[in-house]
Structure 1
Amino acid sequence: MSLYLLFESASGYSIFQAHGIDEIGQNTEAVRNSVLDLTRFGKVVKLVAFKPFASALDALNQCNAVSEGILTDELRNFLESSFPRTKEGKKAKYSLGLAEPKIGSQISEVTKIPCQSNEFVLELLRGIRLHFDRFIDSLKLGLGHSYSRAKVKFNVNRVDNMVIQAIFLLDTLDKDINSFSMRVREWYSWHFPELVKIVNDNYLYAKIAKFVENKSNLTDEHIPALADILGDDDKAKEVVEAAKASMGQDLSPIDLINVQQFAQRVMDLSEYRRKLYDYLVQKMNDIAPNLATLIGEVVGARLISHAGSLSNLAKCPSSTLQILGAEKALFSFQGFENPWKYPKYGLIFHSSFIGRASTRNKGRLARYLANKCSIASRIDCFSESSTTVFGQKLREQVEERLDFYDKGVAPRKNVDVMKAAIESASNKEDDQMDVDEKPSDSAKKSKKKKKSKTENNVASPQPETEKKKKKHKLSEEPESEPASAKTNGADLESERKKKKKKQHEEADGVKDVQPTSEKKKKKKSKSKDDE
């Protein structure tokens, strides 16, 4: 006969099966010794089924019911689904061990499952309680997978990880392009040393080196092509003249081929760097448009990558954001020894605002700029709609503060600027909604107008009433007036006023005519009879 154990925990009901009972024997001391060793106890007891509780309140109710000896519907369904039904007149080949003997009688009566509760079962349950966390590793693993899935999904939705990788790759490409360009200059300078002083740009130097190849073959016919590359006719002529009087030594064809291939590699890296920069700008406008508008795409991406994510940057206070990237200077020995040597700015130093400020006001402007960057990052992180209105307004505030430090011009209040930003953002959303809803609304209105016209035409086949006649008279009277009175502007105004007065008087006359109907006459006659 196999033995099963019902164990109640805070997470749910679980059923364990006990193996090798005959080897251990029904001896409590042997069971106690096996309980302490997990490897030995794990061979004896194995998890068979588990049913989690719906909530903490459900767990409390289930535990109270078990302690009071009440069989709940959840426990009954769990036991019936876990154990096979026994036919009437036959004994079951299994038994269920319980810690509470009260509920055992309820289970055996309702579900016909034989139950037992003794010292041997209690010792096994004590061992299960001791090592229960080891038996439910799968539950912990499932929770870990769910958490990881949610974390990955969050990163995919925010897409800030792409910005972090792009800015890291952009920095790496800048270093590689600079080092490779220096190598091309040194390599090709053996053949054409004068070209270094004429062309300063790395990309143009590599392009010219690939185009020229051997300087001895360069003639005046190549000036237009060189002018197209350099964008300057004078520089193109200067390159040709320098090639004719060059002091460089000749290179073998194999060396020239290697130089050309390396120059082509530098050109390819430069073009890829430009495409990557465009990709970074697009991503920053999608993820953090206000931060990108305020401080620039590259500096904003550096702040996000240094903080770890956009949400981490939004959680940073402005004081932390101000020195983000200057941790080494902050925690240096000189900083602790001399507090006045603390850094005033970190990555935001690369912003154009800090460069435009005077030396005296750099720290003050850095503190103000960090405050605005913190606001912009929080708007980008927690707002549902993406807009650049707040970034533009915050940038205007920084410009005004810069003018205040330099010229003394008083800036606007933050409350007024934010109100204007909120109004402009709401107006943009309303305009978008109007554009989406205009065609449908106009179609509905036209249909309603057509229906109302048809209904009026069907419902009113009666002859024209006095009101309509009066209206026709009112409309005919302005036409019958002489046209000579419309020459002067003053006469026009006086005529308009007279027309309005006439219309009001006639309308009052129409109102006075209306109560002379038959029904009202009858009412008046009735009132006279009553008197």
Structure 2
Amino acid sequence: MTTSEAPTYALYEHAVGYTMFKIKAYEDIGQIQPEVQSAMTDAQRFQSIVQVHAFEPFRNTEAALENANSIADGVVHVDLLNFLEANLPKKKKKVLLGVGEQRLAASLVEAMPGIRVTFTGVVQELMRGIRSHFRVLAKDLPHAQLGKAQLSLGHSFSRSKVKFDVHRVDNMEWYAYHYPELIKIVPELYNYVRCATAIMDREKMDEAVEMKIKEILQDEQKATTVIEAARTSMGMQISELDLQNIELFAKRVASLAEYRQRLHQYIKDRMEACAPSLSTLIGEQVGARLISHAGSLTNLAKYPASTIQILGAEKALFRALKTRSNTPKYGLLFHSSFIGRAQAKHKGRISRFLANKCSLASRIDCFSDVPVASFGEALRKQVEERLVYYEKGVVPKKNVDVMQEAVEEATVAVAKKRRKAAKRMKMSRETISSEGATE
């Protein structure tokens, strides 16, 4: 770090994003310091010394808070590093960057070895002027949002520094004020809201309510615990209006949970009908995501295994290619249970193997006359054996033997499926003919 030269750029962190200012060229610091001090109270004169060179807004409030915490700790955030690399000149020998924090300056020197950073001398005067005249300097930004962004970030930053959970009361279930023990006995969300709807005022429980609780939980012992805890609960009294609102919200949550269950069952049925092998191999949810991302089952079947492996991680892939860093090992396949069960050192290998099997399963499902789950079961066993091989070294069965067994099972399954379809068709024809005869 040097203080004899005048800085050429200044980095300013605002609640809305990072701003880089280009400073008027001076031979040494002795020339710029008096001009900065004299122009401190005049925005127009200060604007002739400092001009906006680049601006990068934060993606959202969470990103703003992360960057603010990093700067406060003197750590270079990834967003800041990318911003500097993109906007500083390629030849960094003549660049002297001014920053407002000493620890941040030291971290920048470590993160970007070719850059020179200073935080002393005229830099503090420049930062004071930029802070005072930021609205004039950044005139293209919406001024109405600057104050809101500062206020929002200030509250978020203060909350992050508080040691206890300030959201505890806000995040507490409404019904827990009246019956706090229920959430510990019935932690499942769907059963919890159904029990809350059935109980409502715990002081007015009768035999009908007790029967409803037993019917909901399908567990005599747990239902008895709920009933006994309601009689000795430490919860406070609650008004009738609050109970009505709680009942309204509880019914809404229950309906959303039921809708989710119906949607899951629909996806399961559709995947079993159109892609049974892929569904059996990797699960209906991950399989449906792969098909949706590819556009259709036919498109997915045309993809090579290497594309399926990183499907869903395109942004990370292009970013890695641009920065010449390591490419991602997996995309949507990360949600598979196989990736989660594999050791960290084997995740890349199992993701490649799994992508290969997904490619085979999708092609079998797409181009089979009658798709069945037999091949998916065989491929799933192969992935299971491969996991055991990576962990314990047990050699798996040969692929030829596994596929021969799968073909035999698939032949039987296809014949059975065709017999069922023919029987169903015959019954429907008989029904139609009987209805016609009746008319």
TM-score range, shorter chain: 0.5 to 0.7
TM-score by length of 1: 0.44
Alpha-carbon separation, structure 1, partners of 2:417 and 2:353: 34
Deviation at 1:324, TM superposition (A): 1.1
Structure 1 residues 257 and 435, CA gap change in structure 2 (3 angstroms): closer
Where does residue 191 of structure 2 map in the other structure?
Answer: 204
User: Following TM superposition, by how much is the alpha carbon of 1:346 offset from its aligned partner in structure 2, in angstroms?
Assistant: 1.4
- Decide which of 384, 391, 405 is 2:369's aligned counterpart: 384
Q: 1:286 to 1:344 in 2, by over 3 A?
A: same
Q: CA deviation at 1:248?
A: 3.2
Letter in 2 for 1:383: S
Partner deviation per Cα, 1:424-450 (whole Å, 9 max, x = no partner): 43455567789999xxxxxxxxxxxxx
Are the structure 2 counterparts of residues 314 and 248 from structure 1 closer, same or farther at C-alpha, using a change threshold of 3 Å? same
What does 1:397-408 align with in structure 2 at a 5 Å threshold? Answer: 397-408=382-393
The one-letter code of the counterpart of 2:254 is M
Distance 1:302 1:396 in 2: 22
Q: Which residue of 2 aligns with 1:277?
A: 264
Report the alpha carbon displacement of residue 421 of structure 1 after superposing the two structures with TM: 2.6
Contact 1:404 1:411 in 2 (8 A): yes
1:319 maps to a residue whose letter is S
Higher mean C-alpha deviation, range 424-433 or range 342-351: 424-433
CA distance in 2, matches of 1:405, 1:421: 24
Is 2:305 the partner of 1:318?
Answer: yes
Aligned to 2:187, what secondary structure does the other structure show? Answer: coil
Of 262, 272, 275, the match for 2:249: 262
Give, in angstroms, the shift of residue 350 of structure 1.
1.6
Q: Does 1:244 align with 2:239?
A: no
Question: Does the residue aligned with 1:193 lie in a helix, a strand or coil?
Answer: coil
2:325 pairs, out of 329, 339, 344, with 339
Q: Is the 8 A contact 1:210 1:264 kept in 2?
A: yes
Q: Which residue of 2 aligns with 1:299?
A: 286
Shift of 1:283: 0.5
1:61 is matched with none
Counterpart CA distance in 1 for 2:236 and 2:420 is: 70
Give the Cα–Cα distance (whole angstroms) in 2 for the partners of residues 217 and 310 of structure 1.
55
Compared CA separation, residues 263 and 421, structure 1 to 2 (3 A):
same
The reply to whether residue 370 of structure 1 matches residue 355 of structure 2 is: yes
- After superposition, the C-alpha distances for 1:376-418 in whole angstroms (9 at most, x for unaligned) are 1111112222222221221121122122112212122222322
Q: Which has the higher helix share?
A: 1
Q: Taking structure 1 as reference, are residues 223 and 424 closer, same or farther at Cα in structure 2, changes over 3 Å only?
A: closer
- 2:249 partner SS: helix
Deviation at 1:292, TM superposition (A): 0.7
Q: Does 1:414 align with 2:420?
A: no
Tell me, in whole angstroms, the C-alpha distance in 1 between the residues paired with 2:217 and 2:421.
49
1:375 positional shift: 0.9
Give percent identity, aligned residues only: 52
Q: Is the 8 A contact 2:277 2:361 kept in 1?
A: yes
Rg bigger for which structure? 1
| SS class of match (1:325) | coil
1:109 alignment counterpart: none
| Secondary structure, aligned partner of 2:396 | coil
Deviates most, 377-386 or 288-297: 377-386
Residues 139-172 of structure 1: CA deviation (Å, up to 9, x unaligned): xxxxxxxxxxxxxxxxxxxxxxxxxxxxxxxxxx
Aligned-residue offset at 1:281: 0.8
- Equivalent position amino acid for 1:339 in 2: S
Name the CA distance, whole Å, in 1 between partners of 2:197 and 2:253: 11
Which amino acid letter does the alignment assign opposite residue 283 of structure 1? R
Paired residue type of 2:264:
Y
Letter matched to residue 284 of structure 1: M
- Comparing 216-225 with 293-302, greater Cα deviation is found at 216-225
The residue aligned with 1:213 is: 200
In 1, distance between residues paired with 2:176 and 2:218?
22
In 1, Cα distance between equivalents of 2:219 and 2:236: 27
Distance 1:435 1:207 in 2: 40
Once residues 286 and 436 of structure 1 are traced to their aligned partners in structure 2, the CA distance between those partners, rounded to angstroms, is 13
2:386 maps to a residue whose letter is: R
Residue type of the alignment partner of 1:348? L
Mapped partners of 1:436, 1:186: distance in 2? 50
Distance 1:410 1:434 in 2: 39
| Contact residue 372 and residue 414 of structure 2 kept, 8 A | no
Count of aligned pairs between the two proteins: 254
Per mean C-alpha deviation after superposition, the further-off stretch among 251-260 and 312-321 is: 251-260
What is the alpha-carbon distance in structure 1 between the residues aligned to residue 204 and residue 419 of structure 2? 67
Judging changes above 3 Å, is the alpha-carbon distance between structure 1 residues 209 and 184 closer, same or farther for their aligned structure 2 residues?
farther
Residue pair 1:195, 1:239 contacting (<8 A) in 2 also = yes
**1:234, 1:433 → 2: CA distance?**
47
Give secondary structure in 1 for the equivalent of 2:395. Answer: coil
The Cα shift of 1:343 comes to 1.7
Gaps of 5+ in 1: 1-181, 438-531
Q: For 1:431 and 1:209, how far apart are their aligned partners in 2? A: 47
Higher relative contact order (CA 8 A, sep 6+): 2
Q: What whole-Å deviation, never above 9, does each CA across 1:254-306 have from its counterpart, x for those lacking one?
A: 32122112211221222222122111111101111111111111110011111
The one-letter amino acid paired with 1:190 is Y
> What residue number does 1:352 align with?
337
Instruction: Name the CA distance, whole Å, in 2 between partners of 1:433 and 1:183.
Output: 58
Distance 1:183 1:300 in 2: 37
1:246 Cα offset (Å): 3.3
Cα deviation code 1:457-477 (max 9, x no counterpart): xxxxxxxxxxxxxxxxxxxxx
Distance change (3 Å), C-alpha of 1:422 and 1:217 = same
Check 1:345–1:261 CA distance in 2 against 1; reply closer, same or farther (3 A cut): same
Give CA-to-partner distance per residue, 1:72-105, whole Å, 9 cap, x none: xxxxxxxxxxxxxxxxxxxxxxxxxxxxxxxxxx
- 1:372 aligned partner, one-letter code: K
User: Alignment partner for residue 189 of structure 1, among 173, 176, 199?
Assistant: 176
- Relative to structure 1, the CA distance from residue 201 to residue 323 in structure 2 (aligned partners, 3 Å threshold; closer, same or farther) is same
- The answer on whether the counterparts of 1:185 and 1:196 sit within 8 Å (CA) in structure 2 is no
Counterpart residue type for residue 299 of structure 1: V
RMSD over aligned Cα atoms: 3.0
Q: CA deviation at 1:185?
A: 6.1
Confirm whether residue 287 of structure 1 aligns to residue 254 of structure 2.
Answer: no
Partner SS state of residue 360, structure 1: helix
Aligned equivalents of 1:232 and 1:431: distance in 2? 39
In the superposition, relative to structure 1, how do residues 323 and 260 fare at CA in structure 2: closer, same or farther (>3 Å)?
same
Q: Matched residues in 2 for 1:436 and 1:323: separation?
A: 38
Q: CA deviation at 1:224?
A: 5.1
